[in-house]
Amino acid sequence: MSHHFVKIENLSYTYPGRSEPTLKNVSLDVPDGSVMLITGPTGCGKSTLMKCLSGIIPHESGGVMTGRVQIGHLKDTRRADIHSITEKVGLVFQNPDEQIFTSIVRDEVAFGPENRGLPESVTESLIAEALASVGLAEALDRRTDELSGGQKQRVVIAGQLAVGHDILCMDEPFSQMDPRGAAALRDALGLLARDHNKTIILVEHRVHEVAGFADRVVIMENGEIILDMDAARAFDDLSVYNRLGLNVPQSAELFARMGFKERPLDVSDALPLLRENGRVKNIKPPPADKEPCAGNSTGHGSRDKPKIGIENITFYYNKTEPLFENLSLDIFPGERVAVMGANGCGKTTLLLLVAGLLKPRRGRVLYDGVVPKPGAVLGSRAGFLLQNPDLMLIRETVIEELRFPLRNSRVPREKMDVMVRSSLDVMMIEPLKNDYCFALSRGQRLRTAVASLLTPDPDIILLDEPTMGQDRNNISEMMDHFERMGKTLLFSTHDLATAVCHATRLLVMKKGCIHYDGTPKNYFTPSLFTPECALVPCDVMKIAWNMGVDAPVATVNDFISIWSGA
Amino acid sequence: MNKSLLGVNTAPSPVKRLDARVKLLGLFCVSILVVIIDSPVTLGSFSVLALLLHAAARTETRKLKVLFILLSVALWGTVFSQAVFYAGTPRTAILTIIPSATDVPGRLTGGVFIFKEGFIYGIVQGLRFLVMTTLGMLVVWTTEPRDMLAGMLRLRVPYAQAFMLITSFRFIPILLEEVNSILIAMRIKGFRALKYGIIHPVRTAVYIMNPLLANLVRKSGFLALSVECRGFSPSVSRVVQKPKSLNMPETAAALIMVLIIVSVVSAKVIYLLYFHGLYYSSSLRPLYSFAKNYL
């Protein structure tokens, strides 16, 4: 009998210093070799549950834990020491760079077996087996810093497998992956679950990307389990997902919106169902003048005078490899421009050049037709959100953080208070104003960083991958706010859904050049959508393309409009 | 400073091929030598030798540039501070910066001078730092972390300490990147991080430390969990891949280094016995002369 099942009975946990429990009577059964997907809004208790499974709670956390967590033959984790728990359970976190500490793949994977004192020959075979099971057999002698994000995360998983863990707990392993990396990781996890009989407990916001290989889906809210169903049935009723702002697989959403009773979780399931019933035989491309998808208004301002003008910019980090050569671009008032493309194509550099944080080697950046004085761009003219907003929280409390940029620009006290109050209200963090920034949840920290850049009321907002590690609600709230305020927005992202739903214009970059510049929706045709730009088509795009539709399809709405036009 | 500045040189070289144990032993021997030797000429020769070894290791130019800037600042700071604040006697003023007769600063300080003995002492201290830093970076830039760890373990460094040291190399570049991001965040918020003053640099340091420490604590928590669930424990008896045996030139190099150390320490001890009037032999006069001039 194998012993890699997990059983949780009436688990409640209250953090030290808090009166309300974070987990409330949670009970779960995770059988041997199954994949459980746990999701829910930020702060619902998912990560706390992971800590209970890894033994951090209660062994290293303090607080009050009641109920029981059984991991295989360890009947109660409270009575086992943390080492015996970590021998059973492998942990994988969001950022692989925080878990890899050697420079060669072989060494990283060998670390566990060597710690167990296994002979060299056994270690070698374990390394080979673990790397093969995540599809990285040929990467044995590669340097870890040369791997892509998805490859690094797979190396981390291989490191856990080599120790002999049959239970893998993963806390948002996809959140920092670009679409290509996520696809590779998804395939590797699918392989582990299907062919290697591993028990996988996966906490993830990106439900639509992982639901396809999950056996069960669990939704948590306020520390409680509100849904625990087989994955095949878990999307029958989408109302709970919509209420909590959770992503759902596009295929399932498409079928629900079309009024079909089936809920396919990926394209391979959806296509035969659509074809079998002859439901799509008459599908036709939409008329050419069809409106773009909902949410993509064309911006508030005029297109006569650009807000930001980029004129013949040349920029390089290394003289022999120029990143931009004579790049020109106009961004008009009120436009919301998404910049997409593979890692290293120049998205962040473009933002830094626009913000004046990098100087072009040739060419210039104009604001309202004028070259600004050095250092005069950021602040009241433009706000910039870095990729990791945590590094932007410089002061201790939320209110101090919001006052910080205003103090630096010597805004009078009365005016400062008004501006800070406005930002607190807009980002809905007024109740948190006296809290310590680093005691906030991830979503709250993002809102605080955004509020801080909004206090000087800039016209232009520059965001570097704001969607990374954030749930859909947080992203939508932030983007909706920028839209309401009529801000000119330039943001880089890997998230197709955010670009499609919140941008009025899409720039796709390829090796420092603009490969596409137009409305987001029009890009999503098989002839334009090229794999070199590291974008992965979403389900409805694949479905439409498989059916021979050459018209742009990016969202479920687009597909339905073609469907109803058929 | 970016990520690759602590990375291992990509170009193959004889120094890179050398066994980590020999390099670590060499570093240990030089650390003893630079403490024992007081002669600026010998320490200067060591510095030149260390730089030549970088040339042999084909260290990349941008790394050498950073090293050069770091060492220049350190050498200048050490020499200047020792030359001005040297308190030993006798001391000979060779340059007057503020005459003691000058109204306020002169009377307050009793005059500010450059002392010859302090200048020489500063050069000796600066060269010691220069030799150790140059050779330390040579070892880092030419040794894969796994080889370094294995080498340390073979040299009986406790596993937990060796592991932590090697791991810190991996995280220093990430730390530097984060400091850079925080400095950008400060610019975004209109705060000038680099401004003269007494309080301002302290304030800047505090502002950097806030997010940096919060991230560090979080990161180290993740790392600790990650290694713990892979069976890491300071008390565990870990199996490491057996390092290959030293080849003949490596063995010879190690023996020569040990021989040099033993010889230099012996010569210095004999000279000190003579210097303090405890032991004298006329047959050792060439040795006394050598030790006086070069050690």
The pLDDT of residue A287 = 43
C-alpha to C-alpha distances, A293 to A257, A314, A556, nearest whole angstrom:
15, 35, 9
Selection from A106, A114, A119 nearest residue A155 by Cα = A106
How much of chain A, in percent, has pLDDT values that exceed 70? 90
C-alpha to C-alpha distances, A11 to A1, A225, B206, nearest whole angstrom:
26, 11, 41
pLDDT (average), residues A552-565 = 76
Does B188 contact A383 at a Cβ distance shorter than 8 Å? Answer: yes
pLDDT interval class at B145 (50, 70, 90): confident
Q: Quick check: A292 pLDDT over 50?
A: no
- Mean residue pLDDT across chain A: 82
Q: Which among B174, B187, B189 has CB closest to A97? A: B174
Does B191 contact A95 at a Cβ distance shorter than 8 Å? Answer: no
- Please list, in sequence order, all residues whose beta carbon lies within 8 angstroms of the beta carbon of residue A292, skipping any fewer than 6 positions away: A519, A520, A521, A522
pLDDT (average), residues A92-105 = 81
CB-defined contacts A:B, below 8 A? 149
* A176 vs A423, residue with greater confidence: A423
Chain A residues in contact with B186 (beta carbon < 8 A): 394
Q: Which among B8, B186, B226 has CB closest to A394? A: B186
CA quadruple A536, A537, A538, A543: dihedral positive or negative? negative
Tokens representing A101 are 């500490």
Contact A519, A506 (CB under 8 A): yes
Q: Quick check: A2 pLDDT over 60?
A: no
Most confident listed range (A42-56, A289-303, B150-164): A42-56
Q: Which among A95, A355, A409 has CB closest to B190? A: A409
Q: Quick check: B1 pLDDT over 70?
A: no
CA A28 to CA A166: how far, in whole Å? 18
pLDDT interval class at A219 (50, 70, 90): very high
pLDDT interval class at A176 (50, 70, 90): low
Q: Quick check: A295 pLDDT over 50?
A: no
Tokens representing B22 are 């020999």
Of the listed ranges A250-259, A469-478, B52-61, B200-209, the one predicted with least confidence: A469-478
The pLDDT of residue A306 = 87
Chain A, residues 160-179, CB within 8 A of chain B, namely 160, 163, 165
How much of chain B, in percent, has pLDDT values that exceed 70? 93
Selection from A476, A357, A462, A489 nearest residue A428 by Cα = A476
A116: enclosing H helix or E strand? none
Taking the CA atoms of chain A, what radius of gyration do you get in angstroms? 25
Q: Quick check: B74 pLDDT over 90?
A: no
pLDDT interval class at A297 (50, 70, 90): very low
The pLDDT of residue A293 = 38
Chain B residues in contact with A377 (beta carbon < 8 A): none
Chain B residues in contact with A404 (beta carbon < 8 A): 189, 191
* A146 vs A297, residue with greater confidence: A146
Contact B136, B54 (CB under 8 A): no
Chain A residues in contact with B3 (beta carbon < 8 A): 145
- Mean residue pLDDT across chain B: 81
Tokens representing A333 are 């008032």
- Please list, in sequence order, all residues whose beta carbon lies within 8 angstroms of the beta carbon of residue A407, skipping any fewer than 6 positions away: A416
pLDDT (average), residues B78-90 = 82
pLDDT (average), residues A31-56 = 85
pLDDT (average), residues A541-564 = 78
The pLDDT of residue A342 = 75
| DSSP-derived secondary structure letter, A436 | B
Asked whether the bond before A286 is cis by omega within 30 degrees of 0, the reply is no
Contact A340, A348 (CB under 8 A): no
Chain A residues in contact with B8 (beta carbon < 8 A): 103
Q: Can you give the three-state secondary structure of A350-375, one letter per residue?
A: HHHHHCCCCCCCEEEEEECCECCCCC
pLDDT (average), residues A199-222 = 88
Contact A499, A463 (CB under 8 A): no
Q: Which among B185, B222, B238 has CB closest to A98? A: B222
Residue ranges covered by each domain of chain A: 6-248, 308-532
Is A156 in the B-facing interface, judged by CB distances under 8 Å?
yes
Is A409 in the B-facing interface, judged by CB distances under 8 Å?
yes
Does B207 contact A394 at a Cβ distance shorter than 8 Å? Answer: yes
Chain A, residues 71-110, CB within 8 A of chain B, namely 82-83, 86-87, 89-91, 93, 95, 97-104, 107, 110
What confidence tens digit (pLDDT) does each residue in B152-203 have? 877 778 877 887 777 777 677 778 778 888 888 888 888 887 777 677 778 8
Residue A393 C-alpha, separation from nearest chain B C-alpha, in angstroms? 6
Chain A residues in contact with B219 (beta carbon < 8 A): 98
The pLDDT of residue B218 = 79
Is A344 in the B-facing interface, judged by CB distances under 8 Å?
no
Q: Which among B187, B233, B241 has CB closest to A378? A: B187
pLDDT interval class at B93 (50, 70, 90): confident
pLDDT (average), residues B231-235 = 69
Q: Quick check: A301 pLDDT over 60?
A: no
Tokens representing A467 are 């969607």
Chain A residues in contact with B228 (beta carbon < 8 A): 82-83, 86
Does A391 contact B226 at a Cβ distance shorter than 8 Å? Answer: no
**Residue reference for tokens 């990016």:** A554
Specify the CATH superfamily of domain A308-532.
Answer: P-loop containing nucleotide triphosphate hydrolases (3.40.50.300)
Q: Which among B210, B223, B229 has CB closest to A395? A: B210
Contact A422, A451 (CB under 8 A): no
Does B223 contact A452 at a Cβ distance shorter than 8 Å? Answer: no
Is A412 in the B-facing interface, judged by CB distances under 8 Å?
no
What confidence tens digit (pLDDT) does each residue in A359-382 have? 888 899 888 888 887 767 776 788
CA B237 to CA B233: how far, in whole Å? 9
CA A207 to CA A36: how far, in whole Å? 11
The pLDDT of residue A441 = 74
CA B168 to CA B102: how far, in whole Å? 51
pLDDT (average), residues A544-566 = 76
The pLDDT of residue B137 = 85
The pLDDT of residue A469 = 63
Q: Which among B166, B188, B230 has CB closest to A159? A: B230
Taking the CA atoms of chain B, what radius of gyration do you get in angstroms? 24
Give the CATH architecture of domain A6-248. 3-Layer(aba) Sandwich (3.40)
In a mutagenesis test of the A interface, which of B176, B230, B241, B244 is the best target, namely the one with the most A β-carbons within 10 Å?
A: B230
The pLDDT of residue A490 = 93
What confidence tens digit (pLDDT) does each residue in A225-277 have? 999 999 888 998 888 988 888 888 888 888 888 888 888 888 888 888 877 76
Of the listed ranges A380-389, B14-23, B100-109, B264-273, the one predicted with least confidence: B100-109
Does B225 contact A56 at a Cβ distance shorter than 8 Å? Answer: yes
Q: Which residue of B has its CA nearest to A462?
A: B188
Does B239 contact A114 at a Cβ distance shorter than 8 Å? Answer: yes
CA A498 to CA A555: how far, in whole Å? 11
pLDDT (average), residues A304-330 = 85
Q: Which among A95, A123, A163 has CB closest to B231? A: A163
pLDDT interval class at A286 (50, 70, 90): very low
Q: Quick check: A45 pLDDT over 50?
A: yes
In a mutagenesis test of the A interface, which of B192, B229, B238 is the best target, namely the one with the most A β-carbons within 10 Å?
A: B229
| DSSP-derived secondary structure letter, B58 | T
In a mutagenesis test of the A interface, which of B178, B186, B189, B208 is the best target, namely the one with the most A β-carbons within 10 Å?
A: B189
Tokens representing A123 are 């270690």
Chain B residues in contact with A453 (beta carbon < 8 A): 188-189
In a mutagenesis test of the B interface, which of A100, A115, A170 is the best target, namely the one with the most B β-carbons within 10 Å?
A: A115
The pLDDT of residue A294 = 39
Does A93 contact B171 at a Cβ distance shorter than 8 Å? Answer: no
Does B228 contact A101 at a Cβ distance shorter than 8 Å? Answer: no
The pLDDT of residue A211 = 85
Is A59 in the B-facing interface, judged by CB distances under 8 Å?
no
Q: Which residue of A has its CA nearest to B184?
A: A357
Q: Quick check: A24 pLDDT over 90?
A: yes
Tokens representing B210 are 């806030």
Residue B201 C-alpha, separation from nearest chain A C-alpha, in angstroms? 15
Q: Which residue of A has its CA nearest to B219?
A: A98
In DSSP terms, which residues pair with A462 in a beta bridge? A384, A490
Chain B residues in contact with A145 (beta carbon < 8 A): 3, 7
Q: Which among B145, B186, B214 has CB closest to A438? A: B214
Selection from A470, A421, A384 nearest residue A42 by Cα = A470
Does B236 contact A86 at a Cβ distance shorter than 8 Å? Answer: no
The beta strands (E) that lie in A380-432 are given as 382-385
Of the listed ranges A281-295, A383-397, B259-273, the one predicted with least confidence: A281-295
What confidence tens digit (pLDDT) does each residue in A151-174 have? 888 888 888 888 878 888 888 887
What confidence tens digit (pLDDT) does each residue in A507-524 have? 988 877 888 888 887 777
